[in-house]
Amino acid sequence: MGDYCTFLVDTFISQSNAIRTAPDILSKLINDRIINAESCMTICSDSIFPFHPEFRQPCQDDVASSPFNQSLYSGMTISVRGYGWGVDSQGNYYLTASEKSTNGLFMNYDGGFNIQCPHCHNKSSFGWAVEEDNARSEDEIAARQDAISSALGIWHDQGISHLKCHDCQTQSPIQSWQTGSFAAGYLAVTLWGQQFSLRDLENDFSWLLALLNPNQDRDRIAVVGCMI
């Protein structure tokens, strides 16, 4: 679908609620003619929906709309950890358990990523060094990466995991260790074709953020830019 994408990851929602919520999100996007279900592409168990050719970008004041630049975006994916999309004979989409589905880990695959403790806000890196690592010994960097690898492996296998911060010694769920290059969660929407910052999304995709986070809970939606 292209080298660039942006993950919008719900880091608060439980898996049971994700299973209930994702079909409602998909149904609304189809009914509002935002995505085109008839032109869906499937990669593994991920259904990638192109934007509907008649979709017009809503303005923030809801008074007017503007043309949507289809050339910038390849499509949209709605992912639930451990599940993929199926379609019945009537063309209706439903979730089905799948071993080929997303594992609920969303990260920058271009060399590495960093994570940030939700309590002391210090960062640890995985794959490549971040600025904070310059003052750390090789043994400490290796110990941090081993801890991250172990926590991610447990999440991958069990769907629940905690990571203890090397700095403040606080243990937190892996979902709370979000940064601009990493997030974990049971529900995510992927925009294919571009990398966006949170500010970009607030300006251009406020309707999507409102759909995912109607109560505007702080830090609920992690935004991860990725190059695959």
Tell me: pLDDT of 113 over 70.
yes
Q: What is the pLDDT of residue 64?
A: 46
The per-residue pLDDT for range 63-110, each reduced to its tens digit, is 444 445 555 677 889 999 999 988 888 888 899 998 878 899 998 766
Q: Are 224 and 194 in contact (CB under 8 A)?
A: no
Of the candidates 28, 52, 49, which has an alpha carbon nearest to the alpha carbon of residue 40?
A: 49
The per-residue pLDDT for range 165-206, each reduced to its tens digit, is 999 999 999 999 999 899 999 999 999 887 877 887 887 788
The per-residue pLDDT for range 22-55, each reduced to its tens digit, is 999 999 999 988 888 888 876 555 678 888 887 7
**Residue that the structure tokens 């994700």 belong to:** 18
Q: Are 171 and 164 in contact (CB under 8 A)?
A: yes
Taking CA atoms, 91 is separated from 23, 140, 213, in Å, by 13, 53, 28
∠ at Cα 33 (185, 44), nearest 5°? 45
Q: What is the pLDDT of residue 91?
A: 81
Q: What is the pLDDT of residue 132?
A: 56
Taking CA atoms, 206 is separated from 24, 52, 55, 198, 212, in Å, by 18, 18, 15, 10, 10
Q: Integer distance in angstroms from the first to the last C-alpha of the chain? A: 10
Cα–Cα dist 168/123, whole Å? 11
Cα–Cα dist 40/140, whole Å? 46
Cα 109 to chain centroid distance, Å, stands at: 13
Helix, strand, coil shares of the chain, percent, nearest 5, are: 30, 30, 40
Q: Is 63 helix (H, G, I), strand (E, B) or coil?
A: coil
